[in-house]
A = this chain, B = another copy of it.
Amino acid sequence: MAKAIPTREEDYSLWYNELVKKAELAENSSVRGCMVIKPYGFSIWEKMQSILDRMFKDTGHENAYFPLLVPKSLFEAEEKNAEGFAKECAVVTHHRLKTSSGDKSKLVVDDGAKLEEELIIRPTSEAVIWNTYKGWVQSYRDLPLLINQWANVMRWEMRTRLFLRTAEFLWQEGHTAHTTEQEAIAETKQMLEVYADFAENYLAIPVLKGVKTENERFAGAVDTYCIEALMQDGKALQAGTSHFLGQNFAKAFDVKFTSQQGKLEHVWGTSWGVSTRLMGALIMAHSDDQGLVLPPKMAPIQVVIVPIFKGDEQLAILDSKVAEITKLLRDKGITVKYDNRKTHKPGWKFAEYELKGVPIRMAIGPRDLENNVVELARRDTKEKKSVAIEGIANYVSELLEEIQSNIYYKAKAFQEAHITKVDSMEEFKDVLENKTGFVSAHWDGTTETELKIKELTKATIRCIPLDNVQEEGQCILTGKPSKERVIFAKAY
């Protein structure tokens, strides 16, 4: 098989990279750190977009679009935010090229077209959006603003990996403004729940919900809520964040409203986002050494039908039977692809759709037809079974649901088996090295200790779980008193 990929055991990192490329999800481009999302990969992202977009609209949000470029002076306005992103900014300095005087086939930057003020390609849009909100908000009647944007953003990362960390990525960023602190906090939490719901019920990825420590907080936020997923190599992946911004951006951009009582007050803000990084999570959470394993709700093709035939006459008979079956499946809302190409053998097709993670493969040959059956193969468990054509649509529909939940429960069992309580640094290191996964430990609450532990072990605090059990204990590093455990892990 030309398309075989390394096993996870051999080299997890290479397995992931090769899988992304061989399954035609994405590839590196000619621009450092920027990827090309290929049609098959993009069709999965489109499914993510359409489901999330529906969830955002169902919770009262509208889409809008704000400029790609941010003037440097605006970007500076919220100091912590600016400081957090300054080192990763792509900067536009000129607005014209001209023909090189030396070589007429070459273009050079036209020094006569230098911008008076440099423009930053948005690493995130708080600055440009809050500057706009200033003009939209006068009275409490103008609030809340519940707006989302689907966009590309750019962060000049030094070490990049397809989907997981790229200089340019696609994402959605919600930006809301409210009259009260409570309402903004409720919005922040609501969007965290939306993300958790999406991760668990669509991506089939169980997540821990929690709050970030000060050190891991979004630059400019008062609180950052997050969902943390666990990959098969035992490393954590931050899958979505929802920030309570307090009045930080309202103050930086002077966004005020007249309250019902006639008082002039700063508004309260939130922002929240998920990105094409979720593609990386989806791939790494479920896939195996044969390729992608897609939960049916995220699969661009849910059922692929492969005819087994010799000669045109057999194929014609199968074509007509498959047309009937296809109609029955599509009437149930199932996405079906019939691959009756003669240029490729069934074995090649089997491997190809396995690599691409199609949840159900249906094979049908002349003998199956005689017996009024088809052969169904599940991608997740690789089980094969002969199933009667009669009632096939119901059977497949239920099987898809079963696959969706099986993939989730498999990941859930893995996650549960990989949350380990430890009470000493020795145990902590041992679990990180040998067992991997989330480690639940006491911590003294200081950034100093957090950074020291990171330095010693490469593990970071992923989150302080919501509704965390309060329990007396001692920090694993300093022995100082602690009131609750927090979740550590090595992370993507």
A residues lining the B interface (CB < 8 Å): 27, 29-31, 34-39, 42-43, 45-46, 62-72, 74-76, 79, 82-83, 86-99, 105-107, 109, 118-121, 128, 131-132, 135, 141, 147, 151-152, 154, 156, 168, 170, 343
Contact = CB atoms under 8 A, between A and B. Distances in A.
Contacts of A98: 86-87
Contacts of A37: 64-65
Contacts of A62: 39, 42-43
A94 B91 contact: yes
A97 B107 contact: no
Contacts of A76: 105-107
B168 A95 contact: no
Contacts of A99: 83, 86
A120 B97 contact: yes
A72 B97 contact: yes
A170 B65 contact: yes
B93 A87 contact: no
B36 A132 contact: yes
A29 B96 contact: no
B170 A29 contact: no
Nearest to A103: B76
A70 B29 CA distance: 10
A39 B67 contact: no
Nearest to A40: B62
14 contacts: A29-B132, A30-B132, A34-B68, A43-B62, A72-B97, A83-B99, A88-B95, A89-B95, A89-B97, A93-B93, A93-B94, A109-B118, A121-B121, A141-B343
User: Quick one: which of A29, A95, A109, A170 has the most chain B CB within 10 A?
Assistant: A95
A107 B119 contact: no
A66 B36 CA distance: 5
Nearest to A77: B105
A126 to B, nearest CB: 13
Given A30-B67, A88-B96, A109-B118, 19 more contacts: A27-B132, A30-B74, A31-B69, A34-B68, A42-B63, A46-B63, A68-B68, A83-B99, A86-B97, A90-B95, A90-B119, A91-B92, A91-B93, A91-B109, A93-B93, A93-B109, A95-B156, A97-B120, A152-B152
A128 B34 CA distance: 11
A99 to B, nearest CB: 7
A475 B234 CA distance: 76
Contacts of A89: 95-97
